[in-house]
Amino acid sequence: MRKLFILSLVIIPFFSFAQKQKPKLVVGIVVDQMRYDYLTRFWDKYGDGGFKKLVNEGFNCKNANYNYMPTYTGPGHASIYTGTTPENHGIISNTWYNKVANNSMYCTRDYLANTIGSVSAHGKMSPKNLLSTTITDELKLATNNKGKVIGMSIKDRGAILPAGHKADAAYWYEGDNVGKWISSSFYMNELPKWVQKVNKKNNSDKYLNTKWETLLPIENYTESMGDNNPYEGLFNTEKAPVFPHDLPMLRDSNFNYSLIKATPYGNTILKELALAAIKEEKLGKDEFTDFLAVSFSSPDYIGHQYGPLSIEIEDTYLRLDKDLEEILNYLEKNFEKDEVLIFLTADHGVVNVPQYLMDNNLPAGYFDNAKLIDDLSAYLKSEYDADSIVMNVSNYQVFLNHEYINKNNWNVEAIENTIARFLLTKKGVAKAVTASSLKAAEFTDRILGNAQRGFHQARSGDILYVLESGWIPSGYHTGTTHGSPYNYDTHVPLLWYGAGIKKGQSDHFVVIPDIAATIAALLEIQAPSACTGVPIIGLLK
């Protein structure tokens, strides 16, 4: 009897665990270039059904951070969905120097693929450069390919990297004179009829034939700088960076349909595509979990041009809030709350316009990379009487010519150290570290640790350098950029809502790779192959 009793204790908990209901649909939302403070700065102007619903009725990880550099779109999306950092998944930048082929490599470029939906080369893309599985790949494996996975974004990399290697589809937007959603032969031979229908309707024209005016009276945008200020960029042929932006007049001089990417309406056409996908693909309507990965790219284009203190960026987020509300309303109308799991995060933040910071006596500056390359060449010429030691300088990395160095029987580590010391003499450089050092030890310093986790031994350079806080590469006379290991680029929102998620918030430090680990725990499937994240404690029911 005792043996039977013990057996029953084992069987009953296992049976209850096995019967746990899983979400029918996971919706992953990434906002391209969303700092955490956009939640708090614009809070009073958000409606109740978008960002506020996710915060008030879901779980808010208030201290979510990227734990590597460079904080760019490609590495960001890859890290969210692989649950690891560039040192493992291999997407070290949007574009990087290929030291084997001695050319430039775009993160999703695949010359063997063909464009579907257009005659251009914009669809010659795939996830082949991504070296780890994604949480979406693991879902496909766990359901024996019965769960659908679809990725979509204005940007190809924002659709492809989240969708992973086994996706049913990924869609992105081709601008210029095309104005259509396209894909790659990696996924399909032709666009589904419902996508063709969306393309035929072409709502881009509807939005581009109107002026971009503020959603609220412009005097209500008290969280932003004045509309006409010297820190904002211009559309081509525009005389001042002010509302209203006359989109019909700007189309011809701003690459026609590409103009919509740099307006809030880029978010709106993506929302329309997402809702059509849920309906037409019948996502979440069978016993196998489906996954829709949506990445809103327009805030990045707008943020680069105008900066985070602009009325344009505030208006973009107020409009995005309404797009999110429409998505949430649709899901709640068509599903029970415990049938859908939603998370929202960003692929990186952004720094305030450096010139604005400098004018307000805050640390910032502009770093001249072209001058650095010239100065480094002259320095190495004087030290080694050689012109061929460096192959490339890009993405805050110096790539050495190992063949030339070995031919001259020089010590690679000595040259690395020499260049690192030289870099530290340049104004604006905060840190420099060699590949040899990154391979030999694990850095506990947060900034250098971020650099190390962004370092891939086969793809990265031989010396990495980090600019001072507030510094960006020169060439951005107005507007701004991102890519650093500092808080303004690494601290992003992370909101959870729906199936398995309790209401609450936490100030505990979590890292972006924890997202995929948490989803794996919620879906009870294998974590991605190179996952270094851990499930976030406290948000699960």
**All residues at 6 or more sequence positions from 178 whose CB lies less than 8 Å from its CB, including other chains:** 118, 120, 257
Q: Going along 326-467, which residue ranges are E strands? A: 340-346, 365-367, 390-394, 397-400, 429-434, 463-467
Hey, how many other C-beta atoms are within 10 angstroms of the C-beta on 36? 22
Does 493 lie in the same domain as 456? no
| Cα 22 versus chain centre, distance | 27
Does 380 lie in the same domain as 253? no
pLDDT of residue 20: 64
pLDDT of residue 17: 37
Hey, how many other C-beta atoms are within 10 angstroms of the C-beta on 458? 9
pLDDT of residue 19: 44
pLDDT of residue 476: 74
pLDDT of residue 540: 87
Does some domain include residue 328?
Answer: yes
Does some domain include residue 479?
Answer: no
Does some domain include residue 537?
Answer: no
Hey, how many other C-beta atoms are within 10 angstroms of the C-beta on 103? 9
**Over the range 150-181, which residues count as b (16 or more CB within 10 Å of their CB) and which as e?**
bbbbbbbbbbbbbbbbbbbbbbbbbbeebbbb
Does 335 lie in the same domain as 236? yes
pLDDT in tens, the chain (541 residues): 344 333 333 433 333 334 468 999 999 999 999 999 999 999 999 999 999 999 999 999 999 999 999 999 999 999 999 999 999 999 999 999 999 999 999 999 999 999 999 999 999 999 999 999 999 999 999 999 999 999 999 999 999 999 999 999 999 999 999 999 999 999 999 999 999 999 999 999 999 999 999 999 999 999 999 999 999 999 999 999 999 999 999 999 999 999 999 999 999 999 999 999 999 999 999 999 999 999 999 999 999 999 999 999 999 999 999 999 999 999 999 999 899 999 999 999 999 999 999 999 999 999 999 999 999 999 999 999 999 999 999 999 999 999 999 999 999 999 999 999 999 999 999 999 999 999 999 999 999 999 999 999 999 999 999 999 999 999 878 999 999 999 999 999 999 999 999 999 999 999 999 999 999 999 999 999 999 999 998 998 8
pLDDT of residue 275: 98
User: Which helix H or strand E contains 471, and what residues bound it?
Assistant: strand 471-473
Three-point CA angle 401, 406, 409, nearest 5°: 130
Domain count, the chain: 2
Does 369 lie in the same domain as 351? no
Does 501 lie in the same domain as 443? no
Report the CATH number that the domain containing residue 448 is assigned in CATH: 3.30.1360.150
Give me the domain span that covers residue 432.
365-468
Q: Which of 23, 183, 105, 198 is nearest to 460 (CA)?
A: 105
Does 135 lie in the same domain as 106? yes
**All residues at 6 or more sequence positions from 336 whose CB lies less than 8 Å from its CB, including other chains:** none
Does 93 lie in the same domain as 37? yes
Report the CATH number that the domain containing residue 259 is assigned in CATH: 3.40.720.10
pLDDT of residue 337: 87
Hey, how many other C-beta atoms are within 10 angstroms of the C-beta on 540? 14
CA 237 to each of CA 233, 265, 304: distance values in angstroms, whole numbers, following the listed order: 12, 20, 18
Does some domain include residue 477?
Answer: no
Does some domain include residue 290?
Answer: yes
Does some domain include residue 3?
Answer: no
Helix (H, G, I), strand (E, B) or coil at 109: strand
Cα separation, 390 vs 394, whole angstroms: 11
Does 401 lie in the same domain as 291? no
CA 13 to each of CA 19, 22, 523: distance values in angstroms, whole numbers, following the listed order: 10, 17, 18
Does some domain include residue 538?
Answer: no
Scanning 295-409, the segments in alpha helix (DSSP H) are: 298-306, 311-334, 354-359, 369-384, 402-407
Whether the CB-CB separation of 240 and 488 falls below 8 Å is answered with no
Does 381 lie in the same domain as 518? no
Does 389 lie in the same domain as 351? no
Does 108 lie in the same domain as 73? yes
Does 96 lie in the same domain as 71? yes
Does some domain include residue 8?
Answer: no
Annotated catalytic residues are 73
Hey, how many other C-beta atoms are within 10 angstroms of the C-beta on 100? 9
